[in-house]
Amino acid sequence: MKTSPAALRRQQTDMEEQEQNLPRREREKLRQREDMLAAALALFSDKGYHNVSMQEIAEKAEFAVGTLYKFFKNKEDLYKALISEQADRFHEALTQALLLEGDEIARLRRYVQAKGRVFMDNAACVRLYFAENRGASFNIKAGLDKEIRERCDHVLHRLAAVFAAGMEKQRFRQTAEPYHLALALDSLCNAFLFHWLEGRQSYPESPDIILNIFFHGLME
């Protein structure tokens, strides 16, 4: 079932209204939690996960350390919440881009745009995740990485469904399996984004730059 932009806006408004309808103490708890996660992200990004203590996070967020422990049982629990919620944002943004109305090309264009937008808007958390994955491992990573891979695979299957629909309508040639095409397009977007993250290459403003490489390549 397709979701229109107006419907998505209504969903966002409904969520905001639901939050506003929460009791004052619950709204305050949500704001406190957001402040704690923002403080943790700033410190982790600056010093690295292993070089930050819960005491430092509490001081950065301007809370007593005991208050921090009311929300997160330890630093690993806080890190998992931070990365998991980031993964949820990616999943929601990319899924919505693929569910909005339009033909297959329009949906692929929105996907490329959404991928760049959500990645760049949350670059600090992306840097943290990949920096920690390259460093020393800790127990929480096995479960966390599995959750993130599952979200990514869910998006890839939705992207594959767009290619499958285009093939069924004979808009796309059946040059490869839909899932392989989804993986290839997503990987092409990632290549541009990682170059942008390193300051070597800007992410294309027009999604057609990436889609033209993907669809036309170098051959006439």
Q: What confidence score (pLDDT) does residue 142 get?
A: 52
pLDDT of 144 above 50: yes
pLDDT of 139 above 50: no
Measured CA to CA in angstroms, residue 33 lies from 30, 58, 128, 188, 195 at distances of 5, 11, 19, 35, 32
pLDDT of 82 above 70: yes
In this predicted model, which residue has the larger pLDDT, 95 or 21? 95
Other C-beta atoms closer than 10 Å to the C-beta of 83 total 23
pLDDT of 9 above 70: no
Instruction: Show me where the domains of the chain are located.
Output: 5-216
Dihedral angle at the C-alpha atoms of 116, 119, 121, 123, nearest 10 degrees? -140
pLDDT range class, residue 62, cuts 50, 70, 90: very high
Q: Which fold would CATH assign to domain 5-216? A: Tetracycline Repressor; domain 2 (1.10.357)
> Cα–chain-centroid distance for residue 203?
16
Tokens in use for 3?
């979701």
Q: What confidence score (pLDDT) does residue 26 get?
A: 83
